[in-house]
Amino acid sequence: MRRTYVQTTLNGEVIDFLCEPRQSLLEVLRDELGLTGTKEGCNNGNCGACSVLIDDRVVNSCCVLGVEAEGSEITTIEGVAEGERLHPLQQAFLEEAALQCGVCTPGFIVAAKALLDSEPRPDEARVRHWLAGNLCRCTGYDKIVRAVLKASEMEEVSV
């Protein structure tokens, strides 16, 4: 099958890649671009482990084709920190021990970033509702919710 040329902005940099139309954005990120921070969980749109931002909205990258990324702006977990400086969400996840096996963590952080970017001070119910599309089988969610609320109180997010 002919590969398609796609140009997109990925974590702030204009990049291009070739992919087959059948390849999901998740496959392109991991297999073509070497960005393995985004995880494959269920690969059918239920678990949120593959969450990325497209044009500031959080989506499951397993349910997006790589060719659909043409002309869009994508943020993955690799684009969340600023150089060596962790994003408040990353810092809070460490401080609150909001992960165990870690497979769901990139998806949770990317999804939570989308929430805090649009609503800097969500309450607990809002956080739990927003993160309903992200599944974690280790933590029981409490520590994750606590970490997101803690991050929301850190100064860097309240811009």
Partner 1 sequence: MKQIEYLAPASLGEVYAALQNGKTSAFLAGGTDIIVQLREGRKQVDQLIDVKHIPDLMRYGWTGDGGLEIGASVPFAEIYEDAEIARRLPCVIDCAMLVGGIQIQSRACFGGNIGNSGPAADTVPALIALGATLTLGSRDGTRDLPLEEFFTGPGQNVLAPGEVIVKVNIPPQPANSGAFFHRFIPRNEMDIAVVNVGARLDLDAARERIEGARVSVGAVAPTPLFVAAAGEALAGQAPTAEAFAQAADIAADAATPITDMRGSIAQRVHLTRVLTIRALQQALERAREAQES
Q: By the criterion CB under 8 A, which residues form the site for partner 1?
A: 1, 4, 20-22, 24, 43-46, 48, 51, 54, 57-60, 62-65, 67-68, 70, 111, 114-115, 129-130, 132-134
Q: Which is nearer to partner 1, 21 or 140 (CB)?
A: 21
- Residue 65 or 92 having the CB closest to partner 1: 65
What is the SS3 string spanning 83-142? CCECCHHHHHHHHCCCCCCCCCHHHHHHHHHHHHHHCCCCCHHHHHHHHHHCCCCCCCCH
Q: How far is the CB of 65 from partner 1 (least distance, A)?
A: 7
User: Of 22 and 85, which has the nearer Cβ to partner 1?
Assistant: 22
Residue with Cβ nearer partner 1 (31 or 86): 31
| Phi, psi angles (nearest 5°) of residue 149 | -65, -40
Both tokens assigned to 100: 């165990």
Q: What's the min distance (Å) between Cβ of 10 and partner 1?
A: 18
3-state secondary structure 6-31: EEEEECCEEEEEEECCCCEHHHHHHH
We find the least distance from the C-beta atom of residue 155 to partner 1, in angstroms, to be 25
